Structure 1
Amino acid sequence: MAPLQAIGAGNFLVERSKGFEQLSGAKLGTPDRAAATTDGGFIDAIGGALDKVSQLQANSSGLSKEFQMENPDVGLEETMIAMQKASLGFQAAVQVRNKVVQAYNDIMNMNV
């Protein structure tokens, strides 16, 4: 049986925020497109987060199918934990999407 890890949106967000720590030291001014493409940045952080959510959902689905087929190596606890992790990850991704769309709309509605 796989070792259990703590469940929580906080853990998911802490993992994702590690990519943002690099951005916090960036100086303000005109954006440098060459530096943005080589350092990764926001797009890579979001892509990594979505990949993680996809992996969590695939793992949850696989464990659920194995449990339904009465595989003795897969327990109910492990399956439920995987399902909760996938659910929390998806909820966090939806909230990030909502905030990004809201920020985009706010910027588009600004008077110049």
Structure 2
Amino acid sequence: MKRTLWILLTIFALTLAACGPAVAPTPTVAPPTPTVAPTPVPPTPTKAALDVKAVVDRFLSGIPDKYYTVGTVEALKDMLAAGNVVLVDVREPNEYAEGHIPGAVNIPIRTLAKNLDKLPKDKPVVV
């Protein structure tokens, strides 16, 4: 149970770290039609996109080797094929319906703590 809880808390922390605060769009007002041609303005540099792979790699590199990790996609495929693991998809139901790994169980992250009893105690759980 401690291992499952640790895995779930780790995934929850990763999810929260990957999700930035929501920013409401700023309404825009159409500028008046200029009578004089405007001076070209060089484009403003935009903030670099979040490199999710780098964030995940940095997080995973802090976990001791073989400590509650699957390792590779191939290892997960092998575990799923052998039927000795339960895969939990923590996305919202509409996201899950758009596509998911066959055999994955959908338990949204916001309800995960309330549904821990649905997770098996005799098999590893991959979130």
Higher helix content, 1 or 2? 1
TM-score range normalised by the length of the shorter chain: under 0.3
TM-score, normalised by the number of residues in structure 2: 0.25
Q: Under a length normalisation based on structure 1, what TM-score does the superposition of the two structures give?
A: 0.27
Name the one with the larger strand percent: 2
Which of structures 1 and 2 has the larger relative contact order (alpha carbons within 8 angstroms, sep 6+)?
A: 1
